[in-house]
Chain A
Amino acid sequence: MAERSLWRGLAIPGVVWLLLFVVVPAYAVVAVAFGKIDTLLQPVPVWNPLDWNVGFVKEAFAGVVPGGTYWSATRNTLLYVGATVALCFAIGYPVAYYVARLSGRTKGLLLLLIFLPFWVSYLMRMLAWIGLLAPNGYVNEVLGWFGVGHTDWLDGNPFSVIAALTYGYIPYFILPVYAGLDRIDMRLMEAARDLGASRVRTFLRVTLPLSWPSILAGTVLIVLPMFGDYYTNDLISGSPNTNMLGNSVNLLVQGGSQKNLGAAMVLVLMTILAVGMLYYLWETNRQAKRARA
C-alpha cells in the first residue's frame, strides 16, 4: 500500500545520513587498521578485505595484553572503570532510591537538583575540581584542618582520576536507576510488607531484583563512554602513569604518524566493548518491541 512507502520515505533522509556518517566511517577505521603506511608516514586505507595487512592489528592486540606496550593503559582502564562503577552504585543507588520513593513533597525540588549536573558541561565540572584540587586549593586546605598533609592531587594521582570519573559520570548512572525505581509499583512492596517481610527483606527480595535492569542500564550507560575517555585523565592528571586506553588512541591518532596503529587500537577497544554494546542494543530493542506491541 502507499502507506508503507510513506513511512519508509520519511525515514530515508535519516538513514542515508547515518549510512554516510556512521557506517562508512566505521569501515574506514577498519580499512585503515588493516591498511598500509606510505612513505610520508600517512596511512593508506585498504578497502578490499583480501588485501588486508594484519600487521597493525596484531601489534595493537599484542600491546594490550600483559607485557605489551599498552598493558598499563588497559589495566588502568579496567581498574578505574571498575572502581568508578562501584562508587557510582554505592553513592548513586541510595540517592536514586531516596528521591524515587521516599522524598514526598521535596521530590520535585530534588529532581531538579539531581538533573542539574546534566546541563553543566563535563569540562566545566572538571575545571571546577582543578581549581579545588590545586596545591593551594581548598581541598588541601580543608584536609589540613584534619591534619592531613598537602597532597599533590593533580599530578598522576589515580585516586583523583577515579574520583573525577565518578563525579563526571554519576548523573548518567542515577538517571536510569531513578527511572527504574520510580516505575516500581508501590503495591508490590506493600504486598511484600503485608505478607510479613520486613523493610530490609522487602528491599532485598522485591525492590532490588526489580530494579536490577535499570542498574544494568545505568552501568552500561557509564561504562561505554568511559572506555573512550581521555580528557578526564588529561585534565586531572598530567602524568602518563594514569593513562587509559582512550589516551593511547588519542596519542596515536592525533599525535601524527601512527594513525594505522591508532585505528587498530580503536578496533581493539571496540572488541572489548562488543559484549557490553551488543547486550545494550539487544535489551533496548527488546524494550522497543514491547512498547510497540
Chain B
Amino acid sequence: MSTTTTEPGTATVARPPAVRPSRWPAWLTNPWGRPRFLALTTWVYIAWALLPVLAAILFSFNDGRSRSVWQGFSTRWWWGDPDLSVFHNPTYTDALSQSLELAVLAMLIATPLGFLLAIGLSRWRGRGSGSANFLMLVPLTTPELAMAVALFLVFTQLSVLPFTAVHLGTTAQVIGQVTFSVSYVVIIVRSRLAQIGPEYEEAARDLGASTRQSLQHVLLPMLWPAVLASALIVFALSIDDFVVTQYMSSGGETTTVPMLLYANARGGATTPALNAVATIMVVVTLIGVGLAYLVLRWFGRHSGDQQKQSGAMADLTGIE
C-alpha cells in the first residue's frame, strides 16, 4: 500500500510503502541472524587443514612401526630406540643440522641483501629502475622447478667464473635459497616503507639531517619490525624448501629434512621417526614465527603503531 503526500506548491507524489515485502521467510533474511552455514564451512575447513598434521605429529609417538595405525603411546622414535630414533640416527640428525645451517645462512645473507634492494628500489627514479623491479619479481612468479633446473645447469655445465667456483653442495644450496628469498624480503620491506610514507624522512631532512642520516636515524628504526619479519620468513622458507635444495644438493651430507621426507615418505621400512623429525621442523618454525609475532606486537604497542590487531600478522605474511 503506498502513501501519498502533498507539499505546498507541488503535485501529489506516490511513495513506496514503508516496508517492502520479501518473498523469503523472516528467519532467513533476518539481518541480525548468524551466518551459520559459512561458519560451519570455515570450521570444517580448519579441521581438515590441521587435523592431518596433528595426526602425523601424534603418530611420531606411536608405539609400533606403523605410520598409519595407532598402536599406543611411546617415545621410542624420539630418543628411546638406540638405533632408529631421531636423536640416535645420524641420517636424521645430519639432515636436521644441515637444514638449520642452510636456514641460518640464507637468513643472514638474504635479509640484508633484500633490505638494501628494497630501499634502493623504492627510491630509485632513474634509468633501469623498472627493469630492476621486474628482475626482482621474476623469482616470485617462476615455478621453483624452472629456477632449480636453471641453477643446476649453470653450476654443472657452465665453465665461466664465478660459477665454476661453485659445485653442487651447501654453497649452491645457499645461493639457490637466497635467490628466491630476496624477493620476499623486498616485498615485505617495501610494503612497510609504503605504509610509513615519505614524510618522516622529509621532516628529518628539514631538521638538518642529510639523506644518509635521515635513513639511519629515522627510517631504519621505523623499519626494523619489517626486517625482523622478513628475516623470519626467509628462515621458514629455507627450512621448508625442497625443490631448489634438492637440485643443488650433492647427496649425503647435504641432505635436508624435506629431502629426507621426500625420499622416505612412501617407504615401507620407514618408521615414525620420520614423523618425529618432521615434527621438529614444524616446531622450530612455529617457535620462530611465534617469537617474531610477539616481538612485533610488543613493539607495535610500545610505539603506538596504527595497525589493527592483525598488523603483526600482516607483516609476517606480507599482506599490505
| Chain A residues close to B by CB (< 8 Å) | 2-4, 6-15, 17-26, 28-29, 32, 42-45, 91, 94-95, 97-99, 102-103, 107-108, 110-132, 134, 136-138, 154, 167, 170-171, 175-176, 179, 196, 198-199, 220, 224-231, 234-235, 238, 246, 249-250, 253-254, 259, 262-263, 266, 269-270, 273, 277, 280-281, 284-285, 288, 291-292
For A20, what are the chain B residues with a Cβ–Cβ distance below 8 Å? 162
Q: When chains A and B are docked, how far (Å) is the Cα of A153 from the Cα of B56?
A: 17
Chain B residue at minimum C-beta to C-beta distance from A18: B135
B220 at the binding interface (Cβ < 8 Å):
no
A–B pairs, 29, beta carbons within 8 Å: A4-B125, A9-B120, A10-B120, A11-B132, A14-B121, A14-B186, A15-B132, A15-B135, A18-B139, A20-B162, A22-B147, A25-B147, A25-B150, A45-B158, A98-B38, A120-B282, A121-B240, A124-B261, A127-B261, A128-B52, A131-B275, A138-B55, A167-B49, A228-B243, A229-B145, A235-B266, A269-B146, A281-B137, A285-B137
CB-defined contacts of A129 to chain B, threshold 8 Å: 52
Picked from A111, A117, A266, the residue with its CB within 8 Å of the CB of B310 is A111
Question: Given A10-B116, A114-B46, are A94 and B41 also a contact pair (CB < 8 Å)?
Answer: yes
Chain A residues near B145: list those with CB within 8 A: 228-230, 246, 249-250, 266, 269
The majority secondary structure among interface residues of chain B is helix
User: Is A13's CB under 8 angstroms from B310's CB?
Assistant: no
In the complex, chain A residues whose CB is within 8 Å of the CB of B320: 179, 291
- Distance to closest chain B CB from A57 (angstroms): 15
Instruction: Please state if A120 and B41 are interface contacts (CB–CB under 8 Å).
Output: no
Q: Which residues of B contact A273 (CB under 8 A)?
A: 143
Least CB distance, B307 to chain A, in whole angstroms = 13
B interface residue numbers (CB < 8 A to A): 20, 22, 29, 35, 38-39, 41-42, 45-46, 48-50, 52-53, 55-56, 59, 66-69, 113-114, 116-117, 119-126, 128, 130, 132-139, 141-147, 149-154, 157-158, 162-163, 175-176, 178-179, 182, 186, 190, 194, 211-212, 236, 239-240, 242-243, 247, 257-258, 261-262, 265-266, 274-275, 278-279, 281-282, 285-286, 289, 309-310, 313, 316-317, 319-320
| CB atoms of B262 and A123 under 8 A apart | yes
Does the CB pair B150–A28 fall under 8 Å?
Answer: yes
Q: Is the CB of A228 within 8 A of B53?
A: no
Contact A113 B116 (CB under 8 A): no
What separation, in Å, do the CA atoms of A17 and B162 have in the docked complex? 12
Q: Name the residue of chain A whose CB is nearest to the CB of B37.
A: A94
CA distance A220 to B140 in the complex (A): 11
A2 partner residues in chain B, CB cutoff 8 A: 211
Query: A127, B274: Cβ atoms under 8 Å?
Result: yes
In the A-B complex, the 4 residue pairs with the smallest Cβ-Cβ separation, listed nearest first, are A11-B120, A228-B143, A14-B117, A228-B145
**CB within 8 Å for A127 and B135 given contacts A29-B149, A99-B42:** no
Contacts A21-B179, A175-B319, A231-B242 hold; do A277 and B116 have CB atoms under 8 A apart? no
Q: Which of B45, B53, B113, B117 contacts A120 (CB 8 A)?
A: B53
| CB within 8 Å for A171 and B124 given contacts A234-B262, A263-B149 | no
Given A199-B29, A284-B137; A121-B282 close (CB under 8 Å): yes
Known: A91-B45, A123-B242, A128-B56. A134 touches B149 (CB 8 A): no
Is the beta-carbon distance between B142 and A128 smaller than 8 angstroms? no
Please report the C-alpha to C-alpha distance between residue A227 and residue B144 in the assembled complex, in whole angstroms: 9
Q: Is the CB of A128 within 8 A of B55?
A: yes
Our pick among B53, B146, B179, B258 for the contact of A29 (Cβ within 8 Å) is B146
Shortest distance between the CB of A117 and any CB in chain B (Å): 5
Least CB distance from B265 to A in Å reads 5
Task: Determine the chain B residues whose CB is within 8 A of the CB of A108 once the complex forms.
Answer: 309-310
With A23-B135, A285-B137 already in contact, the answer to whether A121 and B69 are too (CB < 8 A) is no
Min CB–CB distance A215 → chain B (angstroms): 15
Is B39's CB under 8 angstroms from A224's CB?
A: no
Q: Closest chain A residue to B45 by CB distance?
A: A95
Question: Which chain B positions have C-beta within 8 A of A231?
Answer: 242-243, 262
Given contact pairs A32-B153, A131-B67, A132-B68, enumerate 12 new A-B contacts (beta carbons under 8 Å). A6-B212, A8-B124, A10-B117, A22-B147, A25-B147, A98-B39, A116-B50, A123-B265, A127-B274, A131-B68, A179-B319, A198-B22
Q: How far is the CA of A211 from the CA of B117 in the complex (A)?
A: 31
Q: Which residue of B is nearest A35, CB measured?
A: B157
